[in-house]
Amino acid sequence: MRAIDYQAPTSLSDAVSIMAQHGDRARALAGGTDILVQLRGGRREIDVLVDTKKIPELNGLNLSDGGLQLGAAVPCYQIYQNQAVAAAYPGLIDAAGMIGSIQIQGRATVGGNLCNAAPSGDTIPPVITLGGEAHINGPNGWRTVATEDFCTGPGRNALEPGELLVAVQIPAPAPNSGTAYLRFIPRNEMDIAVAGVSSTVALDDSGQNFVSARIALASVGPTPILATAAGDSLAGKAVSDDAIAEAGRLASEAATPITDMRGTVRQRHHLVDVLTRRTLNIAIRRARGEE
Amino acid sequence: MPGLVHVTTTINGNQTDFLCEPRQSLLECLRDVVGMTGSKEGCNDGNCGACTVNLDGRIVCSCLMLGVEAQGAEISTIEGVASADGLHPIQQAFLENAALQCGICTPGFIVAAKSLLENEPDADEARIRHWLAGNLCRCTGYDKIVRAVLDAGEKMRAG
């Protein structure tokens, strides 16, 4: 790796002023599991890494009636080891406990997953279906971006030079709601999704009818995809195999995959259909308190 | 360009200071600066786990963090596993179960397995295989490693 400078500010304002001073020559450092590999491989070239692990706003994991405020530098293991968070957001835990290895989960962060903007980022689909918002601070103050709009292309995100992703705000789960994330990989662990799907459903009090649903896809397009038509197709319908099959079909239609070393276009469309149906069924059981 | 940075850490219970460039990984610092070559470089990108160390109670790939990030951290490495009295039960079990051949992956496996068994002494085979999924071995086919960790868990439970 070529020489870089390293800064570890202890306040958000210091971090933003360093980021603003260096513009696109600075990059935030959280877990480092992507950025260090990219710098070493020459895939990114910057002058300054700004370590965000000493900034309080980026390291909070606060669960309240308003939802979950997830600091952008909080590593995955802290999320799944927090029993209250794990109980409230099992769909997020599906993904946080699945990324890389135990070693990777000791460092890697949801915020970093978003900023790295890999189409295959496992934590991004559940954050999207849960209605997560990216809270961004920069030289011009605060702004908020819906997480489905945060990734703008492979490795590209909505941050302007000088801006920092501070936290992801996830709303409190709706009554009778559930979320699940599944991915397909040819191995049991330690692989990158060929396709991944997160489903969030809200049911009525009877547990027999959908109030609303959101479905998001990984690894089947240049960015994670919110399959709006698939989710909307369920709203107001009775829970049935037919409704779930129709959502699977629509989710598969929303995918825009490529053929590469991990899978083909045809396989990925098929996987989205299957994973949508499976995650919907898990999400429904979770919404009903059955698992 | 940036100069050397002074980093103060605790490694295997000893306060250890070193000077490094910000670009250097913790693994490079351990091996090339501090001179502790027990942690191995396999892939240098977080896939193989040969560089696994324990950082503030969690296992991490030392190739995937900077040495400067270790400021103030408590690190334990393979060099701290055996005591003055002899090998750790996991090390002994690796020998008795022939759980290594070339040995490059072994320090990472032992540091990772120790972290598991210290927190979950009853870990079963499925849990061990899941926990060690981030450690790759090209010699043994894993079975002997898993048996060694099961064996070590049994001995550690017996005290």
Dump pLDDT digits (tens) for A156-210.
Answer: 999 999 999 999 999 999 999 999 999 999 988 889 999 999 999 999 999 999 9
pTM of this prediction? 0.97
pLDDT of residue B159: 79
ipTM of the complex: 0.97
Nearest-CA residue of chain A relative to B2?
A5
pLDDT band, residue B103 (cuts 50/70/90): very high
| Average pLDDT across chain A, whole number | 97
Show which of residues 172-201 on chain A sit within 8 Å of chain B, judged by CB atoms: 188-190
pLDDT of A291 above 90 = no
pLDDT of residue A201: 98
pLDDT of A110 above 70 = yes
Instruction: Note whether A261 contacts B: Cβ–Cβ < 8 A.
Output: no
The nearest CA of chain A is from the CA of B40 a distance in Å of 15
DSSP assignment string, A115-184: HHT-TT-TTHHHHHHTT-EEEEEETTEEEEEEGGGTEEETTEESPPTT-EEEEEEEEPPPTTEEEEEEEE
pLDDT of A37 above 90 = yes
Instruction: Note whether B27 contacts A: Cβ–Cβ < 8 A.
Output: no
Report the sign of the C-alpha dihedral through residues A34, A39, A42, A48, in that order: positive
Alpha-carbon gap, residue A121 to A108, rounded angstroms: 11
DSSP assignment string, B57-101: TEEEEGGGSBGGGGTT-EEE-GGGTSBTTB--HHHHHHHHTT--S
The nearest CA of chain B is from the CA of A239 a distance in Å of 35
pLDDT of residue A189: 87
pLDDT band, residue B64 (cuts 50/70/90): very high
pLDDT of residue A256: 98
Chain B partners of A8 at a C-beta cutoff of 8 Å?
Answer: 68, 71
Question: Could you say which of A1, A3, A37 has the minimum Cβ distance to residue B46?
Answer: A37
Q: Find, among A80, A59, A84, A78, the residue nearest to A69 by Cα.
A: A59
Give the pLDDT confidence of A77-105 residue by residue, as tens digits.
999 999 999 999 999 999 999 999 999 99
pLDDT band, residue B72 (cuts 50/70/90): very high
pLDDT of residue A195: 98
pLDDT band, residue B46 (cuts 50/70/90): very high
Chain A partners of B63 at a C-beta cutoff of 8 Å?
Answer: 36
pLDDT of A66 above 70 = yes
Chain A partners of B41 at a C-beta cutoff of 8 Å?
Answer: none
pLDDT of B6 above 80 = yes
pLDDT of B1 above 60 = no
pLDDT of residue B53: 98
Chain B partners of A39 at a C-beta cutoff of 8 Å?
Answer: 23
Instruction: Note whether B5 contacts A: Cβ–Cβ < 8 A.
Output: yes
Instruction: Note whether B107 contacts A: Cβ–Cβ < 8 A.
Output: no
pLDDT of residue B2: 60
Asked if A163 contacts A44 with a C-beta cutoff of 8 angstroms, the reply is no
Q: Is A199 helix (H, G, I), strand (E, B) or coil?
A: strand
Instruction: Note whether A25 contacts B: Cβ–Cβ < 8 A.
Output: no
As a whole-number percent, the residues of chain B with pLDDT over 90 amount to 97
Question: Could you say which of A5, A29, A77 has the minimum Cβ distance to residue B58?
Answer: A77
pLDDT of B31 above 80 = yes
Q: Say how many CB pairs under 8 Å bridge A and B.
A: 86
